[in-house]
Amino acid sequence: MSSYNILGKRIKGVEDPAMMRGEAEYIADMKLPNMAHMAFLRSEHAHAEILGIDTSKAEKMPGVIGVYTESDLGSMMPLPCIWIPGTGESHFPSHPFGGGVPGGSPVLAKGKVRYMGEPILVVVADTAHQAWDAIKSIVVNYKVLPCVVDAELALEKGAPLLHEEVPSNLNAYIPYGNKEACFKAIEDAEVVIKKQIIIPRTINNPLEPRGCLGVYNEKSDNYTLYATSQSPHNHRLLLGLMILGIPINKLRVVSPHIGGSFGTKGYIYPDMPLSLFLSKKIGRPIKWIDNREDLMRSTVQGRDQKMSAIIAGDSKGKITALYCKSFANLGAYASTIGPGVATAMVGRCIAGVYDIENIFCEISAAFTNTPSLGAQRGSGRTEATILHERMIDLYAKKINLDPAEVRKQNMIQPEQMPFDNRVGWEYDSGDYPNAFEMALKAIKYDEVAARKKEALKRGKYLGVGVNCFVAISGVGPSPQMAKEGMLGGTWGSANVRVHPTGEVSVSIGATNHGQYHETTFAQIVAEELGVEIDKIEVLHSCTRNVPFGQGSYGSRSFSVEGAAVKLASEAIKAKAIKESAHTFKVKEDQIIYDSSKGKIYPKGHPEKAKTLQEISLDLWYGWDIAKVEPALDHTTYFDPPGFNFPYGSVAVEVEIDAKTGQVDIVKHYGVYDVGTIGNLQVLEGQFHGAMAFGIGEALLEQAQYGEDGLLTTPTFREYAIPRATSLPEFETDTTVTPTPHTSLGAKGAGEVGTVGTVSTICSAVTDALSHLDIDHVDIPFTAEKVWRIIQASNK
C-alpha cells in the first residue's frame, strides 16, 4: 500500500476527450488567414554534385510565390550540432563563423548532396498541391559520386569522402573504461568469446509526420513558430541564437498536439528556420507538413552500431572482462545531438546490471551517405543491453552453465549502491536480483524444458529469454552533461500558481507528445497541496507558459521536470504554512497542513481550518500577511545532482514455426522499477508502447540502403511497424525504488520497455534455435531470415 493519496493512482486522462472527439489540434490541422504552403525538393541520390537546377517552369506555375535555394538564405547559419563528445577526438564540418559550434548540417544543400532525401530547395505557393506540382516540374542536374553507407567501410582508406574538412570520415573516436586492464584480463582469462553483433538502422516513425507553421508579424517584429517540437525552448534558442540571429524574446515557439515522437521531433530541421525566414520575406504565414516517404528519408534515424565484442571469464561463471569496439553510423551530418547518442549513450552503458571488473569500449562514429543519426526510443541503452546480454548468453553456453545462473553470479547487489559501473555512470539505487527473480518466476523458468518438448510436437521451436537491464534516464545534471560535451542546460523548471479562486495553474518545462503530462503532473501537485485534481491545469509546450524549459527527451519529463513541479509545490506549501501561522497567530511548527483533505489549521483545532484558496486570497490582497512576498506563486529551476537509473527484467517466450520461420511471441513479461509512480495506468501504457516498439525492432524493422545509397524501405509497405496481430498481450509488474536524487523520487519511464525487450527477444530466439547449433542471429528476426537459417542448418 502506497503512502500517497493521489500519486500513482489510475486517474483517467484529462487529455482524452479532445483527442477522442477529433478536437485536438495537431500541426496539420492549423490554418491561419492568408497562409502559404511550402514543399521541399529532395535529393534523389545519396552522394552527388549539383551541376545545375532549372526552376524556370516552376516559377511560372499557378499559385507559386517563390522558389528558394541556399543562395537565397542570406546570413542564415547551418543547423548546429550541440553534442560534441567531450572525452575523445572529434571532427566536424567547419562553421562559416568558426568558433566552438560546429556546422552540423546545411539548411539547404550547397553544391553537393550527401544523402538521399537531403533538401535542395523549397517552393512556396498558395496551396500545398500547387507547391508539390511545382516541385515536380523542377529539374536538377546531378553528377553522381561514389557513396558509402556502412560506418566501418566509411573509415577505410580510399572510401568516398563526405566532408573535405573531416579526414577519413571520422566524426568521433571515444574510448570508455580502462583499456590496459581490460586487455590484460582478457589475456589472462580461462574463457574468451568473441562475437560481432550488428544492430541495424531503424526509423522511429511516429504516426504523425513532422510539420511547422512559421509566422512573422511585421507590426510587432515578432516571430511565432508552431512546430512538432519536443523541446520548444531549446529550439527557440538554437533558432534565435545560432541559426537566424534574432533576439529570442522576439521568437515564440509553440508545440500544438503532437502525434508521437519517440525522439524524432527533438531535433532541429531545415523547415523550422525556413518557414520563419520566408514568412518574413513574403509577408505571409508559411505552413509545411511532411509526408511518410520524406519522413523516412530525412528525419533522424536510430541505432546502427556494428559491434565487435569480447567477453572473458573463468570456467565457473565469473565474468572478468568485457570489451566492445563499435562502428557507429552517424549519417551524412551531425544532427542536433547525434554524436552523443552514437557514443556516450552506448559506451557508458555496456556494463548493464553487472559488476565487471574490467571494461573497455571504443566507439568510432563515422559520416556516411545516409540520413543523420538521432535518438530512437531507448537509444544507446538498447544497443548496449543487446551487447552485454548476448555476450553473457554466449559465455554461459561456452562454460555450459545456465545463463540465469551466470547473470545472478555477476549481478550488482543492492548493498553495492551507489555503484560506479567503471565506464562512467554511477547507478543511484536498485535491487536488480529481485527484478530478475520476479521475471524468472513469471515465465516459469523451471518448466521450460517440458514446454519445449510439447511445442516441438506442434512443429514449433520454443525458446525463452530472461534478461536484465538498467537504463540511464533523467537528463540530467548539467555539469555532468557538459563533461559529455552537451552544449546546453538540462535542468528542470516549473511554475506553480495558486489562483485566489482556488484553481492551480502549473507550467512545466516538459513537452507532451502522448505521455499524459496534463494528468500525471497534476497528480504531483494534488498530492502535495491537497487540491482537487480537476482544479489543476497543466500548461506546457509553449515558450510563453514557463519562463525557461528544457523539453522532453531521454525519459526526463516526469523524473526531472516532475521533480521541479514537486519542489515548486513544496515551496507553495511552505509559504502557505508561514502565512497560516501568521493568520492563526501560532508558530509555524504548530500548523497542520492536511494534504489529504486540503485543510490547513493550527494543531488541535481542525474546526478553524482554512483552504489553500483562502490563503491564496489573503496573499493576493496582501493587507495583513506574514513576512513573505504577496501572491501564492512560485517558480523553480532544478538541476538534479545525478542521473537516475530505472531498471528491470524482461522474460519472453517465443515459438518459431519450423516450416515458415515465423517468430511468435507467446509470452512477454516485464518488471520495471521507475521509482515513484505518477499514474499507474499511464505508466503501464508507456511500458506496453515501449515493449511494442522493441518487438518491432527485434522482429520487423530495418531501414535498408542499397549499394547506391538509396533507401529501399521508404513506406509502411517495406518498413513494417507492428500491427495488433504482431503483438502479444503484455504483462507488467512494478517495484518502487525511489531515486535518492530528487524529493519526488521518480525515474525515467518512457523507454525502459524498449531497452529490455529487444535483447530478451534475441535470447529467446537463439534459445529456440539452439538445437540447430545457432548461437547468434542479428535482428530483425523476420520470417524470411529465420526460415533461411533453419533451411541452411537442416542441410
List of residues contacting another protein (CB under 8 A): 1-2, 4, 8-13, 15-26, 28-29, 31, 129, 205-209, 257-260, 262, 291-293, 513-516, 677, 680-682, 684-686, 688-693, 715-717, 721-725, 727, 729-730, 734, 736
**Rounded Cα–Cα distance for residues 779 and 791 (Å):** 18
Q: Which is nearer to another protein, 393 or 684 (CB)?
A: 684
Nearer to another protein, 213 or 276 (CB): 213
Task: Identify which of residues 169 and 759 has a Cβ nearer to another protein in the complex.
Answer: 759
Residue 17 beta carbon to another protein: minimum distance, rounded to whole angstroms = 7
- Smallest distance from another protein to CB 184, Å: 45
Residue nearer to another protein on the CB measure, 25 or 629: 25
Nearer to another protein, 23 or 190 (CB): 23
| Cα distance between residue 222 and residue 204, in whole Å | 33
The DSSP H or E segment spanning 648 is strand 647-657
Using alpha carbons only, give the angle 199, 325, 316 rounded to the nearest 5 degrees: 95
698: its cell numbers: 527485434
Least distance CB 84 / another protein (angstroms): 31
- Nearest by Cα to 347 from 298, 383, 317: 383
CB 780 within 8 Å of CB 710: no
DSSP string computed for 250-271: GEEEE--B----TTGGGS--TH
Residue 641 CB neighbour total at 10 angstroms: 12
By C-beta, is 633 or 655 nearer to another protein? 655
Residue number, 222 or 434, with CB nearest to another protein: 434
Of 257 and 460, the one with the shorter C-beta distance to another protein is 257
d(CA 308, CA 762) in angstroms, rounded, equals 17
Cβ 29 to another protein shortest distance, Å:
4
Q: Among residues 291, 133, 109, 138, which one has the least CA distance to residue 714?
A: 291
**Phi and psi angles of residue 624, each rounded to the nearest 5 degrees, phi first:** -145, 85
* Minimum gap (Å) between residue 676 Cβ and another protein: 9
Spatial separation of the C-alpha atoms in residues 69 and 580, rounded to whole Å: 64
Unique residue bearing C-alpha cell 542499397: 706
CB of 759 to another protein, least distance (A): 18
Query: E-assigned strands of 256-402?
Result: 286-289, 302-313, 319-331, 358-367
Residue (403 or 756) nearer to another protein, CB: 756
| Minimum separation from the CB atom of position 775 to another protein (A) | 30
Residue 209 C-beta: closest distance to another protein, Å: 7
Nearer to another protein, 167 or 207 (CB): 207
Q: How far is CA 423 from CA 323, 331, 348, 380, in A?
A: 11, 26, 5, 14
Shortest separation between residue 42's beta carbon and another protein, angstroms: 14
Contact 788, 725 (CB under 8 A): no
Q: At closest approach, how far in Å is the CB of 665 from another protein?
A: 11
**Can the peptide bond before residue 780 be classed as cis, meaning omega within 30 degrees of 0?**
yes
CA-wise closest residue to 232 among 56, 478, 27: 27
Burial of residue 94, with CB atoms counted within 10 A of its CB: 0-12 exposed, 13-18 middle, 19 or more buried: middle
CB of 613 to another protein, least distance (A): 25
Nearest distance in Å: CB 1, another protein: 6
Give which of 81, 755, 758, 739 is closest to 474, Cα–Cα.
739
- CB atoms near residue 788 (< 10 Å): 12
Judged by beta carbon, residue 18 or residue 449, the one nearer another protein is 18
**Residue 11 vs 76, nearer CB to another protein:** 11
Q: What are the DSSP calls for 96-111, one per residue?
A: TT-SSS-EEE-SS--S
Pull the grid cell for residue 764: 529467446
Shortest distance in whole angstroms from residue 291 CB to another protein: 5
φ/ψ (deg, to 5) at 81: -100, 125
Nearer to another protein, 133 or 653 (CB): 133
